[in-house]
Chain A
Amino acid sequence: MAFGRSDQPKMPKAIKLLIAGGFGVGKTTMVGAVSEIRPLRTEETLTDRSVGIDDLSGVETKATTTVAMDFGRISIGDEFMLYLFGTPGQERFWFVWDELARGALGAVVLADTRRLADCFPSVDYFERRGTPFIVAVNCFEGAPVFELAEVKLALNLGEDIPVLLCDARKRESGKEVLITLVKHAYGKRPMATVK
């Protein structure tokens, strides 16, 4: 990559998309299907701000938790770099989501119709935070086939939240999911609202 002679080389700007959902729903598979690099794993040490009430010693304690996240990357020309983070789906890791969701363009909630309830925490979280999200139903073989409308109903989703079927293993399918998300996020831009 060629940079000019200036001290501040022209660098791409990073954009973040999140892939959320329950354990084993195919988050890392989807990241790998669309990423230009093999999915990598990073560990983030985070402070759990909800802990610290257990104040036996009189010393303020902050619990830290280490969370592993898988992620991939897609270069958008030389101007932007898209990062896809598979976010830990467990409810107790909500504080990870806070760090990750900050500045994210949007999120894909991956759902498995055999364990639809697993994606409730993600849906709740993104709704509350106001992060644009869509729901992608990963079509596992042998999983019950639902109409998308039924999934929408079961998850109590707003009319405007796109729901689509996908195959997390396939690049084309992952592409379609991401395009749907970016289009949705574009329509959700807080035009006149002050955050």
Chain B
Amino acid sequence: MSGHEWGPDGWSPDDDRLLDAPTIRPYVIARGRTEAQDRFDLISLAVTIKPTTGREVGLDPEHQTIVRLCRRPLSVAEIAAHMDLPAGIVRVLLGDLFDRGFVAVQQPQPEMDVLDERMYKAVLDGLRAL
């Protein structure tokens, strides 16, 4: 993976702005990669476990934004909504961060585990307390 070739000069890791949305197509952000589509669910939760310095090779501004957003656990769907990117692109970027140890990812409660009585009780209690 090479460094970012298209980042505007003067970009700072503290800059929360995204690149000009209309000029950068989502697949460019993901460098044309789509293979991570099946890796994370829309509700897989990500949390940052290692902050970035902003000088890591191969991490783009979007990666940095995810690392900042995920100081608290956020789902793929939420990251996508906050960054105004398609969920598929977020999955690719999240895969990079996961592979390099910047984020931990919690997969959702698997379908078979919906047998778990304790979960139903917790959810009912939680809803009643709303």
Q: How far does the Cβ of B46 sit from chain A's closest Cβ, in whole Å?
A: 9
User: Which of A81-110 touch B at CB < 8 Å?
Assistant: 81-83, 85, 99-100, 102-103, 105
Within residues 40 to 79 of chain A, which ones have a CB less than 8 A from any CB in chain B?
Answer: 40-45, 66, 69, 71, 73-77, 79
B111 CB within 8 Å of chain A = yes
Taking the complex as formed, is B36 at the interface, i.e. its CB lies under 8 A from any CB of chain A? no
Interface size on B, residues (CB 8 A): 38
Answer yes or no: A117 CB below 8 A from chain B CBs.
Answer: no
Q: Is A189 an interface residue (CB 8 A)?
A: yes
- When chains A and B are docked, how far (Å) is the Cα of A76 from the Cα of B78? 17
Is B110 in the interface zone, CB < 8 Å from A? yes
Partner of A185, one of B41, B120, B130: B120
Query: Which chain B positions have C-beta within 8 A of A74?
Result: 126-127, 130
Mark A156-195 against chain B: 1 for CB-CB distance below 8 A, else 0.
Answer: 0000000000000001000100110011011001110001
Main secondary structure of the interface of B (DSSP, over half): helix
A-B contacts, 8 of them at CB < 8 A, read A11-B106, A13-B109, A74-B127, A76-B126, A80-B119, A80-B122, A81-B73, A182-B127
Contact in complex: B106, A12 (CB < 8 Å): yes
- CB pair A1–B72 under 8 Å, yes or no, is yes
Q: Which of B45, B77, B110, B114 is close to A12, meaning CB atoms less than 8 Å apart?
A: B45
Whether a CB of chain B sits under 8 angstroms from the CB of A14 is yes
Interface residues of B in 84-130 (CB under 8 A from A): 86-88, 104, 106, 108-112, 114-115, 117, 119-120, 122-128, 130
Interface centre among B41, B45, B114, B117 (most CB of A within 10 A): B114
Q: Count the A residues whose beta carbon is within 8 Å of the partner chain — how many?
A: 49
Q: Are B86 and A66 in contact (CB under 8 A)?
A: yes
Chain B nearest CB, measured from A112 CB (Å): 24
Nearest residue, chain B, Cβ from A75: B126
CB distance from B112 to the nearest CB of A (A): 8
Whole-angstrom CA separation of A186 from B124 in the bound complex: 10
Do residues A16 and B108 form an inter-chain contact, with CB atoms below 8 A? yes
Chain A residues in 8 Å Cβ range of B117: 186
Contact in complex: A14, B47 (CB < 8 Å):
no
Q: Given A81-B45, A81-B75, answer yes or no on A13-B106 (Cβ-Cβ < 8 Å).
A: yes
Q: Tell me which residues across on chain A come within 8 A of B45, comparing CB atoms.
A: 11-14, 81
Task: Report if B69 contacts A (CB, 8 A).
Answer: no
- For the complex with contacts A41-B81, A80-B126, 6 further pairs of A-B residues with Cβ separation under 8 Å are A9-B104, A14-B43, A40-B81, A42-B81, A103-B111, A186-B120
